[in-house]
Amino acid sequence: MKLEYDPVRDLLYIWFGTPGKKAALTETVMPGVHADFDAQGTLIGLEVLDASEVLGRKVQFEVELAPSSAEMVPVRA
């Protein structure tokens, strides 16, 4: 993950994929927050316009991770 902030434009971009990868689809999550997806539908980044207004003085978010297939234990009936 990589965070980029442009104080002149007050724009925050959070890269989840390779920085610079082009988005195939952009969806508005909420006013001023846009999610970018690649051609396979994978989230590659979030753009926050007017970041200081949208986020206030703190950047805080939560991520819930699904267990990996190695952590999953098969259940037998």
pLDDT digits (tens, 9 = 90+) for 21-62: 889 999 999 888 999 999 999 999 999 999 888 777 665 656
**Nearby residues of 69 by Cβ (< 8 Å), 6 or more positions away:** none
Determine the structural domain holding residue 39 and report its residue range: 2-55
Confirm whether 69 is domain-assigned. no
Confirm whether 47 is domain-assigned. yes
pLDDT on residue 11: 92
Confirm whether 37 is domain-assigned. yes
Backbone angles phi and psi of 3, in degrees to 5: -110, 135
Confirm whether 42 is domain-assigned. yes
Confirm whether 76 is domain-assigned. no
Confirm whether 43 is domain-assigned. yes
Cβ(72)–Cβ(66) under 8 Å? no
| Total domains, the chain | 1
**How much is the pTM?**
0.68
Count of beta carbons in the 10 Å neighbourhood of residue 74: 4
Cβ(28)–Cβ(46) under 8 Å? no
Confirm whether 36 is domain-assigned. yes
Q: How far is CA 49 from the centre of its chain?
A: 13
